[in-house]
Amino acid sequence: AMKSFFFILSFCIIFIGCTQSSSLKIAEKIIEDHPDSAFAQLETINTSLLNERETALYKLLLTQAQYKLQKKIESDTLINQSILYFSRSNDKKKLANAYYYKGCVLIRLGNRVDAIQNLKEAEHLAKMIDDRLLSNKIYEQLFFVNFETNNYDISLKYAKLFLASSILMNDSSLV
């Protein structure tokens, strides 16, 4: 009886852990087009059951969803933890996304100088991995934040890059 109890307990722990992981994967797949559904999916996750990589991804996705849904973001603490992990893990795609969303959060928090630095880091990484959609989003933010800080020449440069990359991606919703 004791053996079967431990077997059932082990199965439940594994099942619950796998459920958290699959919820995270679902949120990651749908976040770009359906941030509201991704946010709802993220809210079902018990973060204490996540490993270090999953926790970093969870914090990135949560920041991304909160930003896309215009939710109040108090600080860049969550995204900083993601940046720390993805810098060590050498996952350039997730690191580029983390820097991009940190830049976006910092713009919203009014820290435009640090926002530009983070967006420039994201731009560098996005070019390395040839992520055109992310580059497009970065150009848009750099155009915006440089305009807000009266850096009109730099703003114009990024406006042109944003337009050119939007045309290249052949996405009329971006132009």
Per-residue pLDDT of the chain (175 residues; tens, 9 = 90+): 656 555 454 444 444 445 677 889 999 999 999 999 999 999 999 999 999 999 999 999 999 999 999 999 999 999 999 999 999 998 999 999 999 999 999 999 999 999 999 999 999 999 999 999 999 999 999 999 999 999 999 999 999 999 999 999 886 666 5
Round to whole Å and give the CA distance between 88 and 15: 29
Round to whole Å and give the CA distance between 147 and 9: 58
List the helix and strand counts (H, then E) for the chain.
8, 0
Exposed, middle or buried, 34 (CB in 10 Å: 0-12/13-18/19+)? Answer: middle
